[in-house]
Amino acid sequence: MSNEVVWTLLSPLILKTLDRLGKAELSAELELERERHPLIAYMEGYFRKLFAPSGGLTCPELEKYLRDMEESRPNELKSLVEMLVKEYCRRITVTPLRRELGERSAPWRLIAREER
């Protein structure tokens, strides 16, 4: 349930970043799916690797690391969240060239599968 930890602690910052980027559709989708959205899984995977390279964090440990970072280095956390959201958005954007090559809808679903 680490996704719930990421959603609970970071959703306001994630949604603000999406709004600032003009990603209203993705923002609405995220609000509906909440911790089940692939963006949250993408971010959870990143933070697991950041805080424990072996990937062996429990949910309480991840929550502790995120809360500690929020208290001691809030600007760094904000920058990380913004970077991850932008990176995710770049990966899901279907450019005209990618569309021409046959990519169609919902590429973010593919990202979630790649991350597994």
What distance in Å separates the CA atoms of residue 114 and residue 36, rounded to the nearest whole number?
16
Number of structural domains, the chain?
A: 1
| Per-residue pLDDT tens digits of the chain, which is 116 residues long | 789 999 999 999 999 999 999 999 889 999 999 999 999 999 998 988 888 766 578 888 889 999 999 999 999 999 999 999 999 988 876 555 555 655 554 444 444 444 44
The structure tokens listed for 42 are 């993408």
Where in the sequence is the domain holding 105, given as residue range(s)? 2-115
Task: Quote the pLDDT of residue 41.
Answer: 92
Q: Which residues of 77-116 are buried (b: 16+ CB within 10 A; e: fewer)?
A: beebbbebbeebbeebeeeeeeeeeeeeeeebeebbeeee
Task: Quote the pLDDT of residue 113.
Answer: 45
Helices (H), the chain: 2-20, 24-33, 38-51, 59-72, 74-92, 96-100, 107-115
